[in-house]
Chains A and B, each alone.
Chain A
Amino acid sequence: MDLIRFYVRKLFTVLKNEVIVLPSRVVVVVFFLFLLLLPVFTNNQYTLRIFTLTCIFAILAASWDLLSGFTGQINFGHALFFGVGAYAAAMSNLHVHLPPWASIPLGGLVAVLAGLIIGIPCLRLRGTYLALTTLAFPIILMGFVFAFPDLTGGELGISGIERIARSRVTNYYIVAGLMFGLCTIMWKITDSNTGIIFHAIREDELAVRASGVNTTRYKLLAFCLSGFFAGIAGGLYAHFMRIAGPSTLEVSMSFLVVIWAVFGGVATIYGPVGAVFILFPLLEFLRFWQEYRTLMFACVLIVILLYMPDGLFPWLRDKIETECPRCKIRNIATRTVCRVCSASLE
């Protein structure tokens, strides 16, 4: 009993001292609770399905950010990883009868392989050339899909794949949990020493090499990590939709990922995740407005790009929080002195 009381009190202390002090942390906690409690409030299959898909695409968008946002290796063919993961998971499930908990990580690993295969020729390229080359890879793979319909199911794709779990709610919880876990891992990676090198490569690759760091290895690492997470997203998608088709490799899929990331704010991880959670459900629920959907989408995007060039979420964050000029700790915007070092925030 005492132990329980101790932990409850500790939880409250953490909430009071670490969470309440910073709006962005409150938002993360609220977001977590929203994900956790969503099935309690709605039994609607359609809503749950949309939010499951949202979680899957959030992983995908974050994985693009890990590669392109942080290291600056702009990838316009991110659908490749997604598609490879989806097809690998689908095939291993259908032909080898691997259960989802094995086929989905396998999809991630095959996508790592894809990352290596496209990463090596792409290492020599920069900027626009890199972007255009990466754009071509999923198209090439799509060609393979259509060329070998016996193996890949051609236009129809591979169907009849096992579900992740029996009930929709369990499905949702598994995917949402994975989304939270994987995005946290990605965020931790970008926050580590490796993340500093990724950042530095985006700023000035030559200077990183002159600092004695093998940038080739780190760029390949970025391709592989990004491929892994995107491949897992693809595997989840295949098992959730119970189909892996050529639509996972489409150019529009690649571009959607870029749009999400740019909308939310690149090189943040939380930005693309938040963007997916706004844009994807919005677009789905506006389905009855079919004709105007894309138009509105484009308008919103242009407004964001014009007025918030760093993306929506960094902009919002700067509105509600200020950085202490002395110790660089973030504070809620209403404070006048820093909560840690008491420096004036004006």
Chain B
Amino acid sequence: MGEAFLEVMGLNKQFGGLKAVNDVNFSVAREEILGLIGPNGAGKTTLVRLITGILKADSGSILFKKREITGKKTWDIVNRGIACTFQNMRPFRRLPIIANVMVSCLSPRAMKRGEWVKRIEAKAMDALEFAGISDMALEDASTLSQGDLKRLEVARAIATEPELLILDEPFGGLSPAETELMAKSIHRLHKGGRFGRLHSEGPAMIIIVHKLQQLMKIADRIIVLNFGTIIADGTPVEIVNNSKVIEAYLGEGEI
């Protein structure tokens, strides 16, 4: 497991009396796809929001490429190379789909890294093509279906050319066929070479899902969160056989 690319140490976040994230430690390597699973309300989304600076942590620190990013502004963190998608999609509804992605393309990071001969519109179109919704580029975002909104979220995130991509429930609310497609896109993106001029390695990823099954094929390593703490950390095969994980998911039926 190469050297730490993202390192989260002793992270805590409390909402009133509720410890949403409780002393979380983990790291992600540069070429890794890390799965993050846990029952509803386990604190997965909160963890993402802490990493991307949308929420301020109560204590703990986050290192990205050996630099402290705790307490930095969200846009700053994104420009350092971490992009995330929102679980409950947040498109700019009254803007055309291409304009949604152009906002990301206008971030300093994307302006610096992309093929600078390309126009912003062309770059945005690239991202849309990758996500598979380029044919609807001119429609308003409000006309998109649930599955296509997920794709738009992904397009927006990859348009900033991240080195670490955090996907919050990319399969949530998708049909099995759509899930299959999305998983393929994610895998293809991770292998890299498609985006950007400077780094063609493809981003490291943290993928949050609800059901372990969807991660078995694509994740290198999985961590399991329950009540804000990490209860297991290992390869997919280790995780399915872990008794604590099975217990945590007992109430929810299928893992």
Interface residue A170 (Cβ < 8 Å from any Cβ of B): no
How many angstroms from the CA of A209 to the CA of B108 in the assembled complex? Answer: 12
Contact yes or no, B92 A210, CB < 8 A:
no
Give the shortest distance, in Å, between A126 (CB) and chain B (any CB): 16
How many angstroms from the CA of A310 to the CA of B177 in the assembled complex? Answer: 40
Contact yes or no, A212 B75, CB < 8 A:
yes
| Other-chain residue from A197, A199, A206, A212 in contact with B108 (beta carbon distance below 8 A) | A212
Contact yes or no, B54 A212, CB < 8 A:
no
* B90 neighbours in A (Cβ, 8 Å): 204, 206-207
Interface residue A328 (Cβ < 8 Å from any Cβ of B): yes
* B33 neighbours in A (Cβ, 8 Å): none
Contact yes or no, B95 A193, CB < 8 A:
no
- Among the stretches B98-106, B181-189, B246-254, the one at the interface with A is B98-106
Question: For the side of the interface on B, what is the size category?
Answer: 20 to 34
How many angstroms from the CA of A196 to the CA of B110 in the assembled complex? Answer: 16
Contact yes or no, A209 B92, CB < 8 A:
no
Contact yes or no, A327 B103, CB < 8 A:
no
Contact yes or no, B75 A203, CB < 8 A:
no
Contact yes or no, A213 B103, CB < 8 A:
yes
Among residues of B, the one whose C-beta sits closest to the C-beta of A327 is B138
Interface residue B67 (Cβ < 8 Å from any Cβ of A): no
Among residues of B, the one whose C-beta sits closest to the C-beta of A212 is B107
Contact yes or no, B95 A213, CB < 8 A:
no
How many angstroms from the CA of A193 to the CA of B95 in the assembled complex? Answer: 12
Contact yes or no, A208 B103, CB < 8 A:
yes
Give the shortest distance, in Å, between A311 (CB) and chain B (any CB): 15
Interface residue B205 (Cβ < 8 Å from any Cβ of A): no
Interface residue A13 (Cβ < 8 Å from any Cβ of B): no
Contact yes or no, A210 B54, CB < 8 A:
yes
Give the shortest distance, in Å, between B168 (CB) and chain A (any CB): 11
* B83 neighbours in A (Cβ, 8 Å): 210, 212
| Other-chain residue from B75, B92, B93, B100 in contact with A214 (beta carbon distance below 8 A) | B75
| Other-chain residue from A196, A203, A210, A327 in contact with B102 (beta carbon distance below 8 A) | A196
Interface residue B94 (Cβ < 8 Å from any Cβ of A): yes
Give the shortest distance, in Å, between B203 (CB) and chain A (any CB): 14
Contact yes or no, A210 B95, CB < 8 A:
no
| Other-chain residue from A209, A211, A215 in contact with B156 (beta carbon distance below 8 A) | A211
* A211 neighbours in B (Cβ, 8 Å): 75, 78, 103-104, 107, 156, 159-160
Contact yes or no, B106 A196, CB < 8 A:
yes
Of residues 201 to 232 in A, which have CB atoms within 8 Å of B's CB atoms?
Answer: 203-204, 206-215
How many angstroms from the CA of A343 to the CA of B78 in the assembled complex? Answer: 41
Q: A200-B103, A212-B78 are in contact. Are A207 and B86 (CB under 8 A)?
A: yes
How many angstroms from the CA of A207 to the CA of B104 in the assembled complex? Answer: 10
Interface residue B73 (Cβ < 8 Å from any Cβ of A): yes
Contact yes or no, B92 A204, CB < 8 A:
yes
How many angstroms from the CA of A328 to the CA of B137 in the assembled complex? Answer: 11
Contact yes or no, B110 A209, CB < 8 A:
no
| Other-chain residue from B76, B86, B95, B156 in contact with A199 (beta carbon distance below 8 A) | B95
Contact yes or no, A212 B104, CB < 8 A:
yes
Question: Which residues of chain A have a CB within 8 Å of any CB of chain B?
Answer: 193, 196-197, 199-200, 203-204, 206-215, 327-328
Question: Which residues of chain B have a CB within 8 Å of any CB of chain A?
Answer: 52, 54, 73-76, 78-79, 83-84, 86, 90-96, 99-100, 102-104, 106-110, 120, 138, 156, 159-160
Given contacts A204-B92, A210-B86, A212-B109, 4 further A-B contacts (CB under 8 A): A199-B94, A199-B99, A203-B95, A206-B54
Question: Which 3 A-B pairs rank lowest in CB-CB distance, beginning with the nearest?
Answer: A212-B107, A212-B78, A203-B92
